[in-house]
Structure 1
Amino acid sequence: MRVLIVDDEQLARMLLREFLAEHADIEIVGECANGFEAVKAIAEHDPDLVFLDIQMPKLDGFEVVELAGSKPHYIFATAYDQFALRAFEVHAIDYLLKPFSRERLAQALAHVRARAPQAAQVEAVVAEAAQRHAPLERILIRDGARVHVVAAASIDYIEAQDDYVQIAAEGKHWLKNQRLSELEGQLDSAAFVRIHRSYIVKVGAIARIEAVSKDNHCAVLHSGARLPISRGSYPKVRERLG
């Protein structure tokens, strides 16, 4: 079994390597100290199993899974039980709560050997954790081998385009493979408002509302963009603007 270790603490990586050395069927193909390194290493080494810390610099464990995909098995390792512990128990292959023993690691490896995970299991962990966590502070967009990190606070609006969303931020536009309704649930509802079935707008980006016809209105943003407001959303938008 080809294994990748991802943890920002060198001591934690050393201890895990020492524990894994007792298992003859384990080959450690690499170690990473942050999320960006992990995404690159997963693509390069194609490991069977990734031991993944959750709180790390640059990208956290959930963001690594989002970008790297669910092809490898994932065992999450964390010192904090508030990270969707129940979700791990129901959906994940396993989790290790630091500090863990040799016996606990052996048990986790036995779980991996005993059953092949479904992609939906890891996706469910990410989805449930996102619901439990604070609103998104950044959005990750994969562009080939590159990863763009867009701060939520910099976003002016988001437009639905079939199975994608187009994110407008700081004069640039980014395409991300995600449904608008899913992203809406992850954003800060105090900062963003759904004005149309195809648009979410940052409240602070709206300069004014203009009437297009008797019953139709549009939001004019500080950037100059003009976005339609649905009849059903109009009262809510007016209220949010005070």
Structure 2
Amino acid sequence: MPTAPTALIADDEPLLRDSLERSLSQLWPELRVVAQARNGREAVEMFEDHRPDIAFLDVHMPGLNGMEAARQIARQAHVVFVTAYEEYALQAFERGAIDYLVKPVDESRLADTIERLKERMRERLAERAPRAPGAPGQAALEAVIDELARRMARPPGVSTPAAGGLGADTGPLQWIRASVGSTLKLIPVDEILFLRSDEKYTLVVTGDGEALIRTPIRELIERLDPQRFVQVHRSVVVNLHAISHVTRGPNETADLHLKARPEVLPVSRSYLHLFRQM
């Protein structure tokens, strides 16, 4: 019986790593994500430890970046580059030895990538031999990495990150625009249950699903209705109508339980006063 395929995800954004892993588990249940790396150096080290079949590498990572990691990994695994910038999504990806995904990752685009990966793995299995240095696929890969490195050395110009944003520049926020690959999602603010952020991205969670936007949570909270949305942690904003109950925790903290989602959200000491009457 063939062994289950394995993968490594390398990205300096925890939300992006977790989101990609969730999407992979839904679209390719047989795939096992054996490691998550925060930078290129970790990616290389974890690759040596786990030897996965596939490596999803963020182009921009601190220290050793995605291209530098790919040079060390690509002869031994299938590489998929992940980038926040459309300008790095070169035509060479489509005909070369690797693939790319634009962040936040669109699931239909990811499904296409998965099919290509499966086909390449079938071809490799049929050959029953590892890709040799200097093989045509390796030459194409090296060419793409070189071109990516040249483009990254230049300023991005007018290109903008694949992201999302607010529905208008001023006034109360009514909806959020979330660009996911080629799909534009318009999310009514009333449907948002909570927001969770890391340094660069904010996860927008509704009863129907979730989306990532490249808008800091501090900008969102300024535009949200304070009668409905409150910040409960430096990285979490919650819709008061979505709360089921609150449980007190140690050291003047608490946990929020939601009506329609299983997540339990933390309330830090600075915001506990909001719930003293609940």
TM-score by length of 2: 0.45
Q: Superposition pairs for residues 60-139 of structure 1, below 5 Å?
A: 60-83=65-88, 85-116=90-121, 118-134=137-153
Give the Cα–Cα distance (whole angstroms) in 1 for the partners of residues 103 and 74 of structure 2. Answer: 25
Contact 2:67 2:145 in 1 (8 A): yes
Contact 2:16 2:104 in 1 (8 A): no
Q: From the superposition, tell whether residues 13 and 5 of structure 1 become closer, same or farther in structure 2 (CA, over 3 Å).
A: same
Give the Cα–Cα distance (whole angstroms) in 1 for the partners of residues 111 and 74 of structure 2. Answer: 25
Q: Which runs of 5+ in 1 are unaligned?
A: 136-242
Query: How far did residue 129 of structure 1 move?
Result: 2.2
Query: How far did residue 133 of structure 1 move?
Result: 4.2
TM-score by length of 1: 0.52
Instruction: Give the root-mean-square deviation of aligned CA atoms.
Output: 1.9
Tell me the amino acid that sits aligned with residue 21 of structure 1. S
Q: Secondary structure at the residue paired with 1:52?
A: strand
Tell me the amino acid that sits aligned with residue 144 of structure 2. V
Query: How far did residue 120 of structure 1 move?
Result: 2.4
Contact 1:78 1:98 in 2 (8 A): yes
Tell me the amino acid that sits aligned with residue 149 of structure 2. A
Which structure carries more strand by proportion?
1
What is the percent sequence identity of the aligned residues? 41
Q: Secondary structure at the residue paired with 2:87?
A: coil
Query: How far did residue 121 of structure 1 move?
Result: 2.8
Contact 1:19 1:102 in 2 (8 A): yes
Question: Which residue is equivalent to 1:3?
Answer: 7
Contact 1:87 1:128 in 2 (8 A): no
Q: How many residues align?
A: 135
Q: Superposition pairs for residues 130-169 of structure 1, below 5 Å?
A: 130-134=149-153
Give the Cα–Cα distance (whole angstroms) in 2 for the partners of residues 112 and 12 of structure 1. Answer: 20
Query: How far did residue 2 of structure 1 move?
Result: 0.5
Q: Superposition pairs for residues 22-61 of structure 1, below 5 Å?
A: 22=26, 23-61=28-66
Q: From the superposition, tell whether residues 111 and 69 of structure 1 become closer, same or farther in structure 2 (CA, over 3 Å).
A: closer
Q: Whose RCO is larger (CA < 8 A, sep 6+)?
A: 2
Q: From the superposition, tell whether residues 26 and 56 of structure 1 become closer, same or farther in structure 2 (CA, over 3 Å).
A: same
Q: Which runs of 5+ in 2 are unaligned?
A: 125-136, 155-278
Contact 1:71 1:119 in 2 (8 A): no
